[in-house]
Structure 1
Amino acid sequence: MIVIGGGPAGYVAAIRAAQLGFKTACVDAFERGGKASLGGTCLNVGCIPSKAMLDSSERFEMVQHELVDHGILVEGASLDLGKMLARKDAVVDKMSGGIAYLFKKNKVTSLHGLGRLVRQDQGGWVVGVGEQEFAAKHVIIATGSSPRELPLAPFGGHVMDNAGALALDRVPGKLGVIGAGVIGVELGSVWRRLGAQVTVLEALPGFLQAADPAVAREALKQLQKQGLEFHFGVKIARIEQTEAGVSVTYAEGDQEVTAQFDKLIVAIGRVPNTQGLGAQDVGLELDERGFIKADSHYRTNLPNVYAIGDVIGGAMLAHKAEEEGVAVAELLAGQAGHVNYNVIPWVIYTSPEIAWAGLTEAQAKEQGYDIKSGQFPFSANGRAAGHNDTRGFVKVVADAKTDRILGVHMIGPNVSELIGETVAVMEFAGSSEDLARIVHAHPTLSEVVKEAALGVEKRTIHA
């Protein structure tokens, strides 16, 4: 088996395939600092480094503004951005090295270069990697995605994608962000905490429209309170770069506005990486947006060629891609590999964090459910009070007839960790009663989840 792509989908597929007895190679072209670096976008310039910077910037803000409430006085705190970036890079190096170790441990051959389908051969495929060619019975394509450029402003200079936004050598005075999605608000939050004045421009009329409306309203309120400025329903007219920065002209309602920024982050979505794959040469079928067409077992239109992760579309989440990597390897080994797409968690690592899984109330009603819901605030939780962070709430949405949990929506401290419990209950088709009857340690933030589940039947204890 040859896996093309060493990101979350690809490296996990390669490891699982090797565990199942396949002789496996993984081809990956990603480089960082001029050296091969496994892990793809997520590990190198996405999930991992952004979370490292979010954590560092949050600690910097805590020292400046929040420790005083704990009776801890800090004077003269200053930022060493170079050291902060070096720490981020060290985290990435460690994790990428960890994948290389796992490849060695599981006897996965690592090939550096751009993999491409060359031709069919004896029921299998020949894959080219640079000047070399390798034969395999099965090929799994896991080439991921790349940031979408604005036609008005290709990446370069003062206009940055997520990678550029994680490598600034100084804090910009004024930072513009086009796109109020996950990447935009996370990266905007990093630089706002470090001292930038951040303005977010979004084409859609509202904030986080995929999330529960109450969660989205609370998130917007908290982010605005922190100093991020949002403009919704805007249409970008012109973007002009100068030596000093970027000028963005946009329409907001009936007004045309021109804003000046030192740097501009463009975070308007991602496009599939199929360039250089040889798709046209071998007849690999793509859809109208450039994603590889694959069925529910990840089979493409070509025999023995499979595709997983961002390159087939759907939720562009590393954990979704990883589970597809496990599933396709197990299917090829004759096992029952499967991903339940209905309970994949979504997380936004702002402060407070945002997380959800399953259906919103509106989505549940659209699908014909009669619903009931319960909600509980962190303000009534002892552990949250001890942390001095009582923002947000947890909401549980259930089927009124069966009590089965249809969705859980959270905003608050550490909800990225709390969502996992609810996903587990939903995976086993659990009810709000099941969740409410589980004994939760006291005092913990997880008690908010329990109380929200109790609230479905209007029997919360502590509110």
Structure 2
Amino acid sequence: MSKYDVAIIGSGPGGYVAAIRCAQLGLKTAIIEKYNTLGGTCLNVGCIPSKALLDSSHHYEDAIKHFEAHGIDIPGEVKINFKKMIERKASVVEQTTKGIDFLMNKNKVDVFTGVGSFKDATHVVITSEKGEETIEATHTIIATGSKPSTLPFITLDKERVITSTEALTLSEIPKHLIVIGGGVIGLELGQVYRRLGAEVSVIEFMDRIIPTMDGSQSKELTKVMKKQGVKFFLSHKVSAVSRKGKEVNVTATDKKGNEVSFTGDYCLVSVGRRPYTDGLGLDNAGVKVTERGKVAVNEHLQTNISNIYAIGDVIKGAMLAHKAEEEGVFVAETIAGQKPHIDYNLIPGVVYTWPEVASVGKTEEQLKEAGMAYKVGQFPMRALGRSRASGDTDGFVKILADKETDEVLGVHMVGARVADLIAEGVTAMEFRASAEDIARMSHAHPTYAEAVKEAALAATEDRALHV
């Protein structure tokens, strides 16, 4: 029987990063993955393939809508080769997952393919087509991630009533895609197919899309996506989804109690994700789960069984790949006897629509609820020379700062490349910078980043220079 210092069940961003860090720290490490490719949801059916389709569809939209304004004339009709677009997406996924294979080999991490389940607290049984194999581990990290959620009355046939997984591998562009859920996944995939010509209707139970983000971001993204042709039905409660042949019917009730029907050829159910613990054999190891099915952990990400840890989507907190990565490093270093730290308030959230949406820290709603005295500095992207040069004038940067100390409490952005730009806000807040600190930093001109400086100036005695 093979013995390891650490066994990791799940090879998503949390799992494989934990494996690399464990190996760097001199721990003999094994990683167990039930699928034939490493990388988990993010690399195979999540973050990476969705961004590939977002970029491809963005290029198409630019070609048919924006190239002419830049003086680029394309003779003949611009056509979509959807099959090739999907093939390119698959190629990007393959390259990325092969990169994880390389990293495991480079760091001398043993990879086991099969379903990992606990025999007891120190033994993991790996079941595959070849049979069963048992390994012994001093420490085990549960990194099994999440799966798409659904509603009790919805039958996911994965053909017409689909999740994000199937939406990434369709063989045709929908004529009318009905999206249930106005969160990150629904909006990103909805925008992909809207760009490619589908009619897209987003049905959201709450009174606004991306409801966990700052209200000003929700308002701006709604406005922009409406201009792009996406239809929103907010404060609508879905009560039934049925399919007849190639037709899907969705029934919902609006805030006035009126019943509303929607008919399309595809329905994307994007109402969140659930922790995935199926087949783990947690009872065999004595590991406890919460009422919501998440693995219960303490501040050290340790389960009630001291040598077993859990990270990522399977535990409390936002379901984000980069959160899982931070937790993977955190647990590896904890096992090695170090004293790492994670500030969950400083883990950014991003929506990869165009314009992009990015946030870190407290929202204005959260500050109001907490009764904190704060000030706001906001700067519109349309006032930037760089935005006008690129034609990406939608959006803003908003900085929330403590009214007395000027410490930055939250940074919220909508605009071109803000998924990258939010790192400036994270850095500033990590070092507890004030709005004045950011305002006095030199920002290259012309750049999108100048909007951060201007928002900081606006929060500091309303000193913005370009509005």
The bucket for the TM-score relative to the shorter chain is over 0.9
Code of the residue aligned with 1:426 in structure 2: it is M
Equivalent positions of 1:64-103 (< 5 A) are: 64-74=64-74, 75-103=76-104
Q: Which residue does 1:129 correspond to in 2?
A: 126
What SS does structure 1 have at the residue aligned with 2:271? coil
Q: TM-score, normalised by structure 2?
A: 0.96
State the match for 2:39 in structure 1. Answer: 39
**Structural RMSD (CA):** 1.0
Aligned residues of 1:56 and 1:84 also touching (Cα < 8 A): yes
Whether the 8 Å contact between 2:140 and 2:307 is mirrored in structure 1 is: yes
- Give the AA of the match of 2:223: K
1:189 maps onto 2:214 in alignment: no
SS in 2 for 1:26: strand
Partner Cα distance (1:361, 1:315) in 2: 19
What is the rounded CA distance, in whole Å, between the counterparts of 1:256 and 1:320 in structure 2? 40
- Whether the aligned pair in 1 keeps the contact of 2:45 and 2:165 (CA below 8 Å) is yes
For the 8 Å contact 1:373–1:455, the answer to whether it is kept is yes
Q: Secondary structure in 2 aligned to 1:443? A: coil
Per-residue deviation at 1:174?
0.8
Instruction: Note if contact 2:215-2:365 (Cα within 8 Å) is conserved in structure 1.
Output: no
Q: Which of 323, 333, 345 pairs up with 1:320?
A: 323
Q: Does 1:272 align with 2:275?
A: yes
% of aligned pairs identical?
48
Match of 2:363 among 357, 360, 365: 360
Say which SS state the counterpart of residue 59 (structure 1) adopts: helix
The CA deviation at 1:15 is 0.6
Pair 1:62-2:59 in alignment: no
User: What residue identity is the alignment partner of 2:62?
Assistant: M
Q: Do the aligned residues in 2 keep the contact of 1:140 with 1:305 (CA within 8 Å)?
A: yes
1:152 to 2:157 alignment:
no
Q: For structure 2, list consecutive stretches of 5 or more residues without a partner in the other structure.
A: 1-5
TM-score, normalization by structure 1: 0.97
CA distance in 2, matches of 1:128, 1:16: 23
* Rounded Cα–Cα distance in structure 1 between residues aligned with 2:120 and 2:349: 39
Structure 1 position 372, deviation (Å): 1.0
Q: Are the equivalent residues in 2 in contact too, given 1:329–1:337 (CA < 8 A)?
A: no
Residue 5 of structure 1 pairs with residue 10 of structure 2: yes
The CA distance in 2 between the partners of 1:240 and 1:317, in whole Å, is 31
What is the alpha-carbon distance in structure 2 between the residues aligned to residue 414 and residue 65 of structure 1? Answer: 20
- Whether the 8 Å contact between 1:3 and 1:27 is mirrored in structure 2 is yes
Residue matched to 1:165:
167
Give, in whole Å, the separation in 2 of the partners of 1:343 and 1:206: 24
Aligned counterparts, 1:292-303, within 5 A: 292-303=295-306
Tell me the CA shift for residue 433 of structure 1: 1.0
Question: For residue 362 of structure 1, what is the amino acid of its counterpart?
Answer: E
Superposed, 1:217-366 pairs within 5 Å as 217-252=219-254, 253-366=256-369
DSSP-derived class of the 1:206 partner: coil
> Across the two proteins, how many residue pairs are aligned to each other?
454
1:420 maps to 2:423: yes
3-state secondary structure, aligned to 1:137: strand
Which secondary structure state, in structure 2, belongs to the residue aligned with residue 152 of structure 1?
coil
Question: 1:119, 1:406 → 2: CA distance?
Answer: 45
Offset of 1:381 from its aligned partner? Answer: 0.6
Alpha-carbon distance in 1 for matches of 2:207, 2:381: 29
Asked if the contact 2:349–2:359 (Cα under 8 Å) also holds between the matched residues in 1, the reply is yes
CA distance in 2 between partners of 1:404 and 1:265 (Å) = 41
- More moved, 337-346 vs 231-240: 231-240
Per-residue displacement from partner, 1:256-300 (whole Å, max 9, x unpaired)?
A: 122211011000011111110001233210000100000110110
Which letter does structure 2 place at the counterpart of 1:460? A
Distance in 1 of aligned mates of 2:239 and 2:104: 48
- Please give the residue correspondences for 1:99-114 in structure 2 after superposition, counting only pairs within 5 Å: 99-114=100-115
* 1:25 alignment partner AA: A
Partner Cα distance (1:250, 1:24) in 2: 50
Q: Is the 8 A contact 1:330 1:336 kept in 2?
A: yes
Provide Cα deviations, 1:79-131, integer angstroms capped at 9, x if missing partner.
000110111001100110000100000000111111111114xxxx0101011
Q: Tell me, yes or no, if the aligned pair for 1:172 and 1:196 is still in contact at 8 Å.
A: yes
Other-structure match for 1:431 = 434
Check if 1:462 corresponds to 2:463.
Answer: no
Separation (CA, whole Å) in 1 of partners of 2:101 and 2:136? 22
Among candidates 182, 201, 216, match of residue 199 of structure 1 = 201
2:67 alignment partner, SS class: helix
Alpha-carbon shift at residue 337 of structure 1 (Å) = 1.6
Amino acid at match of 2:38: L
Query: Is 1:17 aligned with 2:19?
Result: no
Equivalent position SS for 1:276: coil
What SS does the aligned partner of 2:446 have?
Answer: coil
SS in 2 for 1:62: helix
1:442 aligns with 2:445: yes
Give the superposition deviation at 1:411. Answer: 0.5
| Residues 347-374 of structure 1: CA deviation (Å, up to 9, x unaligned) | 0011111111001123123334211111
The AA in structure 1 aligned to 2:9 is I
SS at match of 2:77: coil
